[in-house]
């Protein structure tokens, strides 16, 4: 499964990608993540099976959903993001499928 994380600049979300991949590996799941800035969203959206938006730009959800077409799109849980809790975000991803 390919998971795209979108945030304002892409930097902090790159750390979340690592945490999600570690949680997935611990569960024996094959999952690849990529973090991109909102400005680069259209370059990567076709690659994704699931799209997550950083809580700091959740106001952009409608724009991301329009670009993602029929792919599931949600904002990352704010508490999980703040704590860099990859396991909790992985559970959110699994719930989106």
Is residue 7 part of the annotated active site? The answer reads: yes
Under 8 Å between Cβ of 88 and 62 = no
Q: Which of 4, 6, 7, 73 is catalytic?
A: 7
How many CA atoms lie less than 13 Å away from 71 in the CB half-sphere?
A: 25
* Cα pseudo-dihedral 9, 15, 21, 25, rounded to 10: 180
Active site amino acids: 7
């Amino acid at each position: 499964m390919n998971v795209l994380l979108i945030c304002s600049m892409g930097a902090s979300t790159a750390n979340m990608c690592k945490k999600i991949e570690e949680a997935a590996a611990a569960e024996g799941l094959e999952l690849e993540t990529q973090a991109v800035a909102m400005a680069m969203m259209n370059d990567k959206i076709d690659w994704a099976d699931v799209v997550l938006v950083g809580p700091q730009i959740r106001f952009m959800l409608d724009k991301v959903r329009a670009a993602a077409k029929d792919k599931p799109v949600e904002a990352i849980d704010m508490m999980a993001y703040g704590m860099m809790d990859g396991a909790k975000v992985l559970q959110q991803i699994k719930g989106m499928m």
